[in-house]
Amino acid sequence: MPAGPDDPIVPDEAATLLAPLIGRDAGCAGVLLAVSGGPDSVALLHLAALWRERGGAPPLFAATVDHGLRPESAGEAERVAEWCAERRVPHAVLRWTGRKPATRIHAAAREARYALLAQQAERVGATHIVTAHHRDDLSETVLMRLTRGSGVRGLAAMRKSRPLGGLFLVRPFLDVSKSRLLATLTQAGQDWLRDPSNADPRFGRTRTRRLAAMLAEEGLDAARLAALARRAARADAALDEAARAAHARHLSQEADRRVFGPGLLGEPDEIMLRVLQLELERHGPVRLERLESLAADLSAAARRGHRLTRSLAGAVTALDGLGQVTISAEKERRRGRRALTKADGSS
């Protein structure tokens, strides 16, 4: 009988969830569990240890990042260390000692956290870092992206597995509801830490949770939002593949200047946009809205046989009268112009 939405996860199911992503067959030589001490990641620790008891699990390690942002954080990391010791999972506390910015602290903490986890994984020889993001996290991320007007890629939200430097970042619980993780801990008699920031309305995620509760009453629940993310991820992967093929097809010259034949502007808008994105992201980050406006301007100019030059993301995109698009680094273009001026003898 399939498990109900609030049923605890049983040991066999733990193996089914974890093995395809971090089993030895998945090329995993060691796993670093990211355990904050919250219920989700304590459930991850508990289930991974259960899986190891049954055999077939790779070597397990755990780490807690102490961001040093709340006075209780050091003590909390010690509690996690105890829960890991009870399961004979080697545990490390990783301290964020870098400068703490005055704004966007949440984003900076996240960036520092992944960097510290990656360093620790390399130190212990783990190839995979595992977090306990679950279906409710996924659906909240989709909702946040919807409110920001994201495209297909943004709506795909989180992937179960993605590269992180030379490692893999794995999220085996994306199909599992938070209530099941809580039920698992309750059944096991395992305690967890209550993070006060989870109820703080200043954080966007807390506001999104309220919105999620309202939408669920209308039928747009976590399962449906997660299904949307899955479908968006599938579409995104197909579009990416088509864009890579179009990129290879239209790139006619590869040197400092990259030249794309006129066929690029005849591609469907989404493919053309992604080819431009692939190219521009080699120079710097680029916002979707800016990319859309560049693509629209290029198409409109090409239709009229006009030329066009635009600077974006540290690169210059130039359309000639024949529909060819050339992309070069802004500084190379400047260097080229200086060389020309010198050769002219003008100053």
Ligand X SMILES: Nc1ncnc2c1ncn2[C@@H]1O[C@H](COP(=O)(O)OP(=O)(O)OP(=O)(O)O)[C@@H](O)[C@H]1O
Name the residues that contact ligand X, by CB under 6 A: 34-36, 40-41, 64-65, 110, 113, 131-133, 137
Residues 204, 110 contacting (CB under 8 angstroms): no
Is 347 known as a binding-site position? no
Judged by beta carbon, residue 82 or residue 218, the one nearer ligand X is 82
Element (H, E) at 173: none
Residue 131 or 177: the one with the smaller Cβ distance to ligand X is 131
Whether the Cβ atoms of residue 18 and residue 51 lie closer than 8 Å to each other: yes
Q: Nearest-CA neighbor of 31 among 119, 125, 158? A: 125
Closest approach of ligand X to the CB of residue 271, in Å: 29
CB of 36 or CB of 277, closer to ligand X: 36
Label residue 241 exposed, middle or buried (CB < 10 Å: 0-12, 13-18, 19+): exposed
161 is in an annotated binding site: no
Quote the least distance from Cβ 115 to ligand X, whole Å.
Answer: 12
Contact between 273 and 236 under an 8 Å Cβ cutoff? The reply is: no
Q: Could you tell me the smallest distance in angstroms from the CB atom of residue 304 to ligand X? A: 44
CB of residue 209 to ligand X, shortest distance in Å: 11
Annotated binding residue 101 = no
- The gap between the terminal CA atoms of the chain, to the nearest Å, is 81
Q: What is the spatial distance between Cα 174 and Cα 115, in angstroms, rounded to a whole number? A: 22
Residue 33 or 232 having the CB closest to ligand X: 33
Q: Is 40 annotated as a binding residue?
A: yes
Amino acid occupying residue 244: R
Helix axes 269-280, 288-304, angle to 10 degrees: 120
* Least distance (Å) between residue 88 CB and ligand X: 19
Please say whether the beta carbons of 73 and 35 come within 8 A: no
Nearer to ligand X, 36 or 317 (CB): 36
Numbered residues of the known binding site: 36-41
Binding residues for ATP: 36-41
